[in-house]
Amino acid sequence: MPSQDLMVEVKDAFKSFPKPGKGSAVEFIPVLHGLSFGIQRAEFVSIVGPTGCGKTSVLRAIAGLLALDSGSITVNGATVKGPGRERAMVFQEPTLLPWATALDNAAFGLKQRGVGKAERHARAREALQLVGLEQRANALPHELSGGMRQRVGIARALSVNPDVLLMDEPFGALDEITRRSLQDELVRIWEHDKKTVIFITHSVEEALYLSDRILVMSHAGHIIETVSDLMPRPRTREQETTETFVNLRAKIWQALS
């Protein structure tokens, strides 16, 4: 992988957490164990693995929200030492400000960065339009469905125009119909501006539909399989019935089991 094409590089990452319990002796549970991988500019990479394997931990570390015990992470050649303007994260729950409109919620990251009201509202409106919510800009969160609230969360991340979009199971809490609709929206958005995306999911099918490459993690906290050569783009739902899709799904499940 040519170095000039690398957007994100994780090298020999280790992370442990204290084990809950009583007593003076503190035990630690290893979560990441020598994890290493690289992600190219404009690549959409999904990470799948069992619960507790460290998927969210590595994403939070890339976001600068979690410090490693050892190892390093670089984004666009710069070492990650904390949150940065070139990264934005979308969580499973959108955590919107309940008193703010969809527009103000989408503009919140820009406000935190000191962007003036006129500019941040203009950029937030563009982001809402991108996720199909421009007509609900003045709605409050309680007036929006769960899928719409998650769209606002995505718009908030997109409005700051990050180089890297980090997504932690953003559709995991949604019903299947809404989930598939938002998957289609995300494919369309990625085709629009080709951002580098790191996507965490428990769904093998979701990873196959969205990704250029899939990293499979084990309980031991490292990559056990890398699945490339996925289906050609543009993606269509018809591809989910093809032999290629079925064989790729079987390959990933074999690795997970």
Is residue 2 over pLDDT 80? no
Residue range 44-67: mean pLDDT, rounded: 95
Domains parsed from the chain with CATH numbers: 3-86+163-256 (3.40.50.300), 97-161 (no CATH)
* Integer Cα distance of 65 and 78 in angstroms: 16
pLDDT at 98: 95
- pLDDT confidence of 4, banded at 50, 70, 90? low
pLDDT at 216: 97
Count of positions (residues) in the chain? 257
Q: Is the dihedral of CA 140, 142, 147, 153 positive or negative?
A: positive
Min mean pLDDT across 65-79, 167-181, 194-208 is at 167-181
Min mean pLDDT across 17-21, 46-50, 95-99, 111-115 is at 17-21
With b meaning 16 or more CB within 10 Å and e meaning fewer, what string describes 177-209? ebbbbbbebbbebbeeeebbbbbbbebbebbbb
Helix/strand/coil (H/E/C) assignment for every residue in 173-222: CCCHHHHHHHHHHHHHHHHHHCCEEEEECCCHHHHHHHCCEEEEECCCCC
The structure tokens 């809490």 sit at 173
pLDDT tens sequence across 220-256: 888 999 999 899 999 999 999 999 999 999 999 999 9
- What global pTM score does this model have? 0.93
Residue range 117-138: mean pLDDT, rounded: 95
- pLDDT confidence of 47, banded at 50, 70, 90? very high
Phi/psi of residue 234, nearest 5 degrees: -70, 150
Q: Is 245 exposed, middle or buried (0-12, 13-18, 19+ CB in 10 A)?
A: middle
